[in-house]
Structure 1
Amino acid sequence: MSIRTQMRKGLLDACILAIIETQPVYGYELSKILNERHFKDVSEGTIYPILLRLLNKQLIYSEFQTSEKGPKRKYYYITEDGKKELDTVKHEWNQMQAPINALLKKEY
Structure 2
Amino acid sequence: MNAQFKKGVLELIVLESVRKRDMYGYELVAEVSKVVDVNEGTIYPLLKRLTNEHYFETYLRESTEGPSRKYYHLTAAGILYRDALETEWDLFQQQVNRFLKEQRA
Q: Residue 81 of structure 2: which of 79, 85, 97 is its match? A: 85
Taking structure 2 as the reference length, the TM-score comes to: 0.91
Q: Show the counterpart of 1:27.
A: 25
Q: Tell me the CA shift for residue 95 of structure 1.
A: 1.4
1:7 aligns with 2:1: no
Q: Which runs of 4+ in 1 moved over 6 A?
A: none
Q: Show the counterpart of 1:43.
A: 39
Taking structure 1 as the reference length, the TM-score comes to: 0.89
Deviations 1:17-60 (A, max 9, x none): 110000111110011111222x12x1001100000000110000
Deviations 1:71-107 (A, max 9, x none): 1000000000000001111111111211211212336
Q: Tell me the CA shift for residue 5 of structure 1.
A: 0.5
Unaligned runs of 5+ in 2: none
1:63 aligns with 2:20: no
Q: Which has the higher strand share?
A: 2
Code of the residue aligned with 2:19 in structure 1: it is: E
Two-structure CA RMSD over aligned residues (Å): 1.5
Code of the residue aligned with 2:89 in structure 1: it is: W
> Percent of counterpart pairs with the same letter?
36
Aligned partner of residue 92 in structure 1, secondary structure: helix
